[in-house]
Amino acid sequence: MCYAAPEKTKREPVAITSNSMEADKLGDTVTFMGNVVLKKAGMTLTSDTMVVFYDPRSRDIKEIDAYGNVVVRKEGRVAYSNKPSYYSREEKIVLSGDARIIENKNQLGGDTITLFMNEDRSVVESGKIMFYQNKQEKSGEEKKRK
C-alpha cells in the first residue's frame, strides 16, 4: 500500500508505504502497519507501525509517531529510537527512548535527541558522545628526534 500525504505549502511531500493502513472515521489519524517506510526530502524512516495525526482544520500533517524497530536515515547518518515523533510545522524529529545517532564510527546518544531537519543541527538532552579520531602520522622532524 502506498500513500502520499498532502502538504499544502511548498514543502517536500511525504510518501508512506506499508502492508496495511487504517483510518479513523473522521480522518484525524491514519495508522500504518507492517514494513512501514516514510520518505521525505532525503530522509527515510522505517518502523513496524506509524500513526499520522492531521490538523482537523487545515488537514495538513501535524505529527507522526513511529513504533517498533525504528530507524531514521538521512545524509549518511543513521538514528535509532524507541519512539521518534516527527513534527511537520517545525520540521523536526524528536527521538526518545534509547535515542542514538551513528555517523561513520562516531556515536551520539541521549535521553532525547531533537533533529532540526532544515537547519542540519541536533540538540541532545542527558547525552553522551563517542568520537573516533584518526591517529595522525608524526612529521619527519618528530621522527628524526627519536
pLDDT digits (tens, 9 = 90+) for 83-100: 899 998 888 999 988 898
Where in the sequence is the domain holding 113, given as residue range(s)? Answer: 2-145
**CB-based contact 43:72 (threshold 8 Å):** yes
Distances (CA, A) of 145 to 25, 135, 136, 137: 79, 19, 17, 14
For the whole model, what pTM was predicted? 0.75
3-class SS letters over the chain: CEEEECCCCCCCCEEEECCEEEECCCCCEEEEEEEEEEEECCEEEEEEEEEEEECCCCCCEEEEEEECCEEEEECCEEEEECEEEEECCCCEEEEEEEEEEEECCEEEEEEEEEEECCCCEEEEEEEEEECCCCCCCCCHHHHHHC
Matching residue, cell 511548498: 10
Any idea what the CATH number is for the domain that residue 49 is in?
A: 2.60.450.10
Give the pLDDT band of residue 124 (cuts 50, 70, 90): confident
pLDDT of residue 7: 44
Residue 63 has pLDDT above 50, yes or no: yes
- Total domains in the fold of the chain: 1
- pLDDT for 8 beyond 70: no
